């Protein structure tokens, strides 16, 4: 019986999955905490609402994960 081939990209797959799922889960949760739930008392960072900046950040993290996976993991080896 032959051993299955070792996959050099397996650690990258695991890391990208963990980072993507973490951003997906903490994006809305921490974002709701940042906004404080009070529309009268909005927190600002760098002149913009903190909730907006947090959601843009998590979106960039998830987009980066998808782009890295598209360029490295989802390639055909033909």
Strand partners, 44: 49
Per DSSP, 77 falls in state -
pLDDT tens track for 63-77: 999 999 999 888 776
Q: State the pTM of this model.
A: 0.77
pLDDT tens track for 4-58: 455 888 889 999 999 999 999 888 887 777 666 666 777 888 888 888 888 899 9
pLDDT at 54: 85
Residue 2: inside a domain: no
DSSP string, 20-73: HHHHHHHHHHHHHHHHTT-TTS--EETTEEHHHHHHHHHHHHHHHHHHHHHHHT
11 SS3 class: helix
Residue 47: inside a domain: yes
Residue 35: inside a domain: yes
Number of structural domains the chain divides into: 1
What residue numbers bound the domain in which 41 lies?
10-72
Residue 78: inside a domain: no
pLDDT at 36: 65
Residue 32: inside a domain: yes
pLDDT at 4: 47
């Amino acid at each position: 019986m032959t051993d299955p081939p070792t996959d050099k990209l397996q650690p990258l797959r695991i890391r990208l999955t963990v980072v993507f799922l973490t951003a997906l889960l903490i994006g809305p949760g921490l974002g709701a905490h940042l906004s404080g739930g009070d529309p009268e008392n909005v927190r600002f960072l760098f002149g913009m609402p903190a909730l907006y900046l947090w959601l843009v950040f998590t979106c960039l993290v998830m987009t980066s994960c998808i782009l890295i996976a598209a360029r490295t993991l989802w390639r055909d080896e033909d």
